[in-house]
Structure 1
Amino acid sequence: MASEIEFSKQLKSYETSIEGLVVYDLAVFGDNRGWFKENWQREKMTAIGLSDFGPVQNNFSFNDKRGVARGIHAEPWDKFVSLGSGRIFGFWVDIREGSPTYGKHFTIEMDPSKAIFVPRGVANGYQTLEDNTVYSYLVNDHWSADAQYSFVSMFDESIGIDWPIPLDECEVSDKDKNHPLLADTTPIKPKKTLIVGANGQLGRALRALYPDAECVDRDALDIASPEVFTARRWRDYGTILNAAAYTAVDQAETADGRKDAWSANATAVANLAKISAQYGVTLVHVSSDYVFDGTTVEHPEDEILSPLGVYGQSKAAGDIAASTAPRHYIARTSWVIGDGNNFVKTMKSLADRDIKPSVVSDQIGRLTFTADLAAGIKHLLDTNAPFGTYNISNDGPPASWAEIASEVYSLSGKSSSDVTPVTTEEYYKDKEGIAPRPLQSTLNLAKIKATGFTPREWKQALNEYLQQ
C-alpha cells in the first residue's frame, strides 16, 4: 500500500555525513485531484545553499515492482535526485579521491517530498519500497563513453548498510551483482586545475600553491586559437587560472603589438569564457589597473571601464568577456612584482651599481607581489566567495614609482636621495611610441578584505622580497 506524502512542507536543506551531499524537503501541495510540486527551482534552491550546478539533462527510471535495487554507481557529474511517485531507500557512498569523508555512507527513505543533491564522485544507489516508483535525476553533463565512472558493490558488508528489504529478495542486474568491494574500487579523481601562462611571474606563484595543477604556456596551448575548444576534454576540468597576458604596454601601440594584445588579452579570454560557460568550469582571470583612466584616486571594482591605450583597452575587453562566464572571478591588480624581470629588480640592480636614476613621481599606486595575488586568488576559490570582480594588490599607503624606488635604494643600503623624482611628461619627453599611463592606480581593497583576506602591506612585502 502506498504511503501518504507529507504536504506543504517548507523548502529546507539538511547536511549529511558525506561532505556536499545535501537532503532537501520539497513543498508538495495536494488536494482531491492529486498533488503538485516544484521539483527543482533554481532561484529558491540556490538561495538556501544548493550549488548552482547547471543541469543539462533530466533522466527517469521507472520501477514497476517493490524490491528493485540499483547501484552503487559513481559518475563524473553532479546529480539532483527526486521521485515522481513511490518511495525508495536511497544509499550513497563517498568514493571521491582525497575527500575528507571518503568511504562514508549515508542512507535515507525518500518519497516525492524529498530530494537530494549528489556531488560528483559520490556513488549512488537505491532500493524501491513501493510498486510503480518513478526515480528522477537532473545531471550537469551528458553521458560520454570516455568519462571516468566507478562502482561499488551493494553486497559489500563492510559498508554497513542496513537494508529494509534483504538483497537476496531484490531484483538486481547481473552488472550490479559484480561490482568491486569498496576496498577494491577505483576512486573518482577530482576535477583538474589548469594554469595558463604558467611560466610568467604570476604563473610561477600559482604553481607553488597548486602543485598538482596542469601547467601550460602558449606553446603548449594557444588559448586564442579556435582549436582550444577541442584541445582538452574540458568537462574534466574544474578551474582555469588564466595568468596569461600581453603586457608590453608601449609595444601594444604598434601595428603588430595591437593585434597581439587583442589576441592574448581579449580573444583568448572570450574563448576561455565560452569553455567555462559550456562545461561549468570556474574561470579566474587577472585584470589590470590600466582598464581605468586614472582620474579617480582609488578605484572600486564597479568603476566604469575607461582605458587610455591599446593595452588597457584590450584588458578591458577581456574583463567584459570573462564576466560572461557564470562561474568567474576577475582578480584586478596593479604593479605586479614576482619571479622575473620587474621594476623592483631593475631598481635593485641600479642601486648595486651606484647608478642614480630618474623615476616617475606622479603615477600613484601600490605594488602587488605575486605571492599575495596568488594567495588572494586561492582564498576566493577555497572559500567559495561570490563570483565577480575583486581588487587584489598589496595594502599600505599608496606611493609613487619614485617613492618605491627610494625605498628599494634604502633597503639596499643606499641613499634614497639617489633617486630623482620626475613627472611622467618629463620622463618620456622626446620619446616616441609611448602609451598613455593612468596617473592614479590605487585599488580599493574593501571587498577582498570583507571575504577574510588581507594582503601584506607593500613595504613589508618589498623588504621580504629583497631579502630572498
Structure 2
Amino acid sequence: MPIEFGKTLTVTETPIPGLIVLDLPVHGDSRGWFKENWQREKMTAAGIDLPDFGPVQNNISFNDAVGTTRGIHAEPWDKYVSVATGRIFGAWVDLREGPTFGAVYTAELDPSRAIFVPRGVGNSYQTLEPDTAYTYLVNDHWSPDATYTFLNLADETAAIEWPIPLDQVEISEKDKNHPRLSDVVPMPPKRILVTGANGQLGRALRAEFGDHPWMEYAGRDELDLTSPDLASARRWRDYSTIINAAAYTKVDLAETPEGRVDAWAANVTAVAALARIATVNGITLVHVSSDYVFDGTKDGAYTENDPVSPLGVYGQTKAAGDAVVSVVPRHYIVRTSWVIGDGNNFVRTMASLAERGIDPKVVDDQIGRLTFTDDIARGIRHLLETGADHGTYNLSSGGDPMSWYEVARTVFELTDADGGRVSPVTTEAYFASVDALVAPRPARGVLSLDRLTGTGYRPATAHERLRAFLSERVTSR
C-alpha cells in the first residue's frame, strides 16, 4: 500500500482518553520519502501538547515477517509510536483505573501516521508488511522495578478483530499467557506526594484528597527535603504531582540569625531541590506562596503579575521560592494570605478571648482577606483536576477586604459576644512594648481573585467561612 504524501499535521482524538492519532506530512518522490517524525516547534504551533511529554529514550522494533504480533502491554510511561518502514495494525486497550477501563481502539499505521499512547494504555502491534520497523519515544528509562499491566491478545471482551488470525501468526509464549480482562489488575494513576503532611495545610490536603494507594503524605521524618540524597529518595518518574505544604512560617523568628538560616533552608533551598526533581521528571510542582512577597503599598488588589517587593526575611524567602518554582515547566504557585487552619490561629484565639471575657486590642491598619486551609486544598485540587494553565494563582476567601480588627469583631459577634469589646490599635502601637524582633508586615495584602475565578473556582466570602469554621469548632468540642 503506497504512503500518502502531503498530509497536513493533524490530531485525531480516540475513545480512549489521551490516546491520539497524528497524521504526519511525508514528502516523497521517485527517490524515496522524508518526514519530520518529531518536530517540537510545529507540533506546539498546531496545538499538540505532546512536545512536553519529555521523551528520554528512543527504541526501534524490527519485524521480519508479516503477522508478527506483540502485546498487549501497558507500561508505566507514555510512548509515541511511529512507523519507519512497512505497515502495522495496532490495537490499544485502556487498562487504567477509571470509567474507560477496557475501552478498545484499533487503527493501521504507516509512515504517515503516528500514535501517542499514554501511560497505562495497553498497546499491541501486528505487522502487515515484511521488514516492518516502528520506533517509539518513551518518557522513562526501562526499569526492572517498573510496574506493568498485560492483557491477552485473544481476550473475548476486548474482541479485537486481528487482520491476520492469531492462530496463524508468530506470538511469544509470554504474550499468549497474559490474563483475560476480568483478571487484569488495572494500572493505578501516578502518585501524588504531599510534603509537610503534618502541618495545618498538610492535614487539610489529606482531608481533601483522601487516603488512596496513589496518595503519599510525608512529614519531615518520612522525607527530608534538605537531604543531599533527595533526588534518589523516590523513583520520581512514578509521580505526577508534588504538593509542597512544607514551609517555614515563623515570620518574626525569621528576623533572628538562627531563624534566617532556617527560613532560607526550608523556603528556598528545599524548594529548589523539589524544583530540580520536578523539572527532570516531568512532575507538576504545586507551591504555596504568601502575600508577604509584596510590600503592601498598593491601593488595589495585587494581581499575579505585580512585581514582588518583600519587606522582611520571611517574605524574601517566599519570593525567592516563587522565582525558583516559576521556571519549572509544570507548576502552580498558589499565593495566599492570612491563613487559618486546624490548630492555633487568630480566629481560635479571638473566639477563646470572647468566651473568657477578655477584651483585646487588635490592629486595624493591616488590610487583607482570610484564607482557610480547607479552601487552599480545594483550590489546589481544582487546578489539578481541571488542568488549568500552569502559573501563579491568588487564592483567598472572597468578599470585601477586612482589617484584623474587623475580623476580630466578626468573630466576637459570631460567638454571641459584643463586638464592641474589641478595640482598634495601630500596628506600631501594638508592637511598641514587644521586647523582640518583629518582622515588618505589608499594610495591604489584598489579592485579586480574577484569574482563579476564571478557571471556575468560586471561593466563599470570609464571613461565610468564619461562620462555618466557628460552627465546626463548637461541634468538635
TM-score category by the smaller chain?
over 0.9
Distance 2:29 2:155 in 1: 43
SS at match of 2:467: helix
The corresponding residue for 1:25 is 23
Change (3 A) 1:388 1:417: same
Measured in 2, the distance between the counterparts of 1:44 and 1:318 equals 33
For structure 1, which segment, 154-163 or 69-78, has the greater mean C-alpha deviation from structure 2 after superposition?
Answer: 154-163
Report the Cα offset of residue 146 of structure 1: 0.6
* Residue deviations 1:228-273 (CA, integer Å, cap 9, x gap): 2222221111111111111000001111111111111111111111
**2:363–2:430 CA contact under 8 A, matched in 1:** yes
- Counterpart residue number, 2:455: 451
Deviation at 1:177, TM superposition (A): 2.1
**CA distance in 1: counterparts of 2:314 and 2:173, whole angstroms:** 62
- Pairs within 5 Å for 1:14-413: 14-46=12-44, 47-51=46-50, 52-96=52-96, 98-211=97-210, 212=212, 213-297=215-299, 298-413=301-416
Q: Any conservation in 2 of the 1:200–1:340 contact (CA below 8 Å)?
A: no
Distance (whole Å) between structure 1 residues aligned to residue 444 and residue 388 of structure 2: 28
Indicate if the aligned counterparts of 1:299 and 1:444 stay in contact, CA closer than 8 A: yes
Structure 2: state its 5+ residue gaps: 473-477
After superposition, give the CA deviation of every residue in 1:402-457 in whole Å (9 maximum; x if it has no partner).
11111111111122221111111111114230011111100111111111111111
Give the total of aligned pairs.
Answer: 465
Greater shift after overlay, 404-413 or 184-193? 184-193
SS at match of 1:195: strand
Secondary structure in 2 aligned to 1:434? coil
> Structure 1 length normalisation: TM-score?
0.97
User: Distance between the aligned counterparts of 1:45 and 1:199, measured in 2?
Assistant: 43
For residues 192-214 of structure 1, what are the alpha-carbon distances to aligned partners after superposition, in whole Å with 9 as ceiling and x for unaligned?
11111112221111111211221
Give the fraction of aligned pairs with identical amino acids, expressed as a percent: 61
Q: Is the 1:68–1:128 Cα contact (8 Å) retained in structure 2?
A: yes
Give the structure-2-normalised TM-score. 0.95
Q: Give, in angstroms, the shift of residue 11 of structure 1.
A: 1.5
Q: Distance in 2 between matches of 1:286 and 1:313?
A: 14
Could you tell me how far apart the structure 2 residues matched to 1:117 and 1:465 are?
A: 47
Amino acid corresponding to residue 22 of structure 1 in structure 2 = I
Structure-1 separation of matches of 2:41 and 2:424: 55
- In the aligned structure 2, how far is the partner of 1:181 from the partner of 1:73? 13
AA partner of residue 123 (structure 2)? N
Three-state SS of the structure 2 residue aligned to 1:103 is coil
* Partner residue, 2:418: 415
Greater than 3 Å deviation, 4+ residue runs? none
On the 8 A contact 1:293/1:438 being kept in 2, the answer is: yes
CA contact (8 A) 1:305 1:316 kept: yes
5+ long unaligned stretches in structure 1: none
SS of 1:374's partner is: helix
C-alpha distance in 2 between matches for 1:44 and 1:356 = 66
CA RMSD between the two structures: 1.3
Q: Cα distance, 1:135 vs. partner?
A: 0.6
Tell me whether 425-434 or 450-459 shows the greater mean CA deviation: 425-434
* Local SS of the residue matching 1:92: strand
**1:174 Cα deviation after fit:** 2.5
Q: Hey, what's the Cα distance between the residues in 2 that align with 1:70 and 1:379?
A: 39
8 A Cα contact 1:77 1:141, kept in partner: yes
Deviation at residue 142 of structure 1 after TM alignment: 0.3
Q: Aligned equivalents of 2:95 and 2:145: distance in 1? A: 19
